[in-house]
Amino acid sequence: MNRTDQLSLSATRRRSDEIEVELAAKPEQFRVLTGDRPTGPLHVGHLFGTLLNRVRLQDAGADVMVVIADYQTLTDRDAPDSLPVDVLNLVADYLAVGLDPSRCTIFAHSQVPALNQLFVPFLSLVTVAELRRNPTVKAEFDASDRATMNALMLTYPVHQAADLLFCHSNLVPVGKDQLPHLELSRAIARRFNDRYSPHQPYFTMPEGLLSDAPLLLGTDGQKMSKSRKNAIALGATEDETARLIRGAKTDSERMITYEPDRRPEVANLVLLASLCSGLRPEQIVHDVGTGGSAHLKQMVVDAINEYLRPIRSRRQSLVGEPDHLRKILADGVEQANAIGDRTLGEVRRLTHTVYSFAA
């Protein structure tokens, strides 16, 4: 991380602490936007990394919008014919963990034309050099199996800016890898306002809310990820969970300790058990003692399965009611379209693209 990124990280961290105080006092002042690409089922990394935080913000009284970023899947793959089912399963994941459609808005990119139209003027506000510099885009391209970068991959941070700005969100829960995108969204808002609405800024500046959620690794010690088959899906069965954890990479030391730097894979299992059981890592390692990784793994399996049991049972009944899930998505899409149409109307007015065609 270079010095500028370091500075922006520490500034965001400081500001996040202040925002938490404002949130507690006046939650209704916040519109939160976050989302996921529908590339597969959500897993425990998502749960502890972002989903529980979304539920917390919703329950605190903030207005939470969740985008299912289906267009963004086209950055590194072709749209599969399973997409409609994948999207409904994502809705089921959200509801199962506690997002409540009467208090939040769940919608899909492709169903909100006005949001997507903002992409056009926004593209004119950024330079190709700026996009080429974005470290997260580079990393995602390297992690993909594509040989060349398509233009959507290069420009998706601009599309993501449309997500944040179309609904005037002022708060974006982020991990550090998303900070470059947030910076770009803020630049687009600032440039649009300077150019088209200098006296009365039109777009709201979104701010990042850095989470202190610990980063969970997958069972192979790499980043937990849907595509690496190293992730425990929220919807996995108890047996699948046990099989994955039993196959997790560890080491041969009998004495279990919590040393994230020296023993990352073992520490990751301890952390999982800790998050699911509510016990501190020190307590977990004390309980396992010299029981070795087999004992630790059994403890992790029990902790995860117990923690996820009510979530899985809710998820299963939801998946059995696809019409209900479709209705929730349709309602969210309708709300997002109402917001998007209003914003696009203002943007057209400000960019002088309102014409009267009356005969």
Q: Which residues bind ligand TRP (CB under 6 A)?
A: 33-37, 67, 69, 72, 160, 163-164, 172
Q: Which CB sits closer to ligand TRP, 118 or 172?
A: 172
The position carrying tokens 């610990």 is 214
Least separation in angstroms between CB 290 and ligand TRP: 40
Q: Which CB sits closer to ligand TRP, 101 or 173?
A: 173
Least separation in angstroms between CB 157 and ligand TRP: 8
Edge-to-edge strand ranges of the sheet holding 207-210: 104-108, 63-68, 31-36, 171-174, 207-210
Least separation in angstroms between CB 307 and ligand TRP: 23
Q: Which CB sits closer to ligand TRP, 48 or 307?
A: 48
SS3 content of the chain, % helix, strand, coil (to 5): 60, 10, 30
Least separation in angstroms between CB 355 and ligand TRP: 31
Q: CB of 124 within 8 A of CB of 350?
A: no
CA distances from 306 to 234, 248, 279, 311, 339 (A): 12, 19, 14, 10, 40
Q: Which CB sits closer to ligand TRP, 41 or 256?
A: 41
| Residue 4 CB neighbour total at 10 angstroms | 9
* Nearest residue to the partner ligand TRP, using Cβ: 69
Q: Which CB sits closer to ligand TRP, 108 or 299?
A: 108
Least separation in angstroms between CB 67 and ligand TRP: 5
Least separation in angstroms between CB 108 and ligand TRP: 11
CA distances from 236 to 93, 179, 259, 314 (A): 11, 31, 28, 13
Q: Which CB sits closer to ligand TRP, 33 or 95?
A: 33
Bridge partners (DSSP) of residue 104 are 64
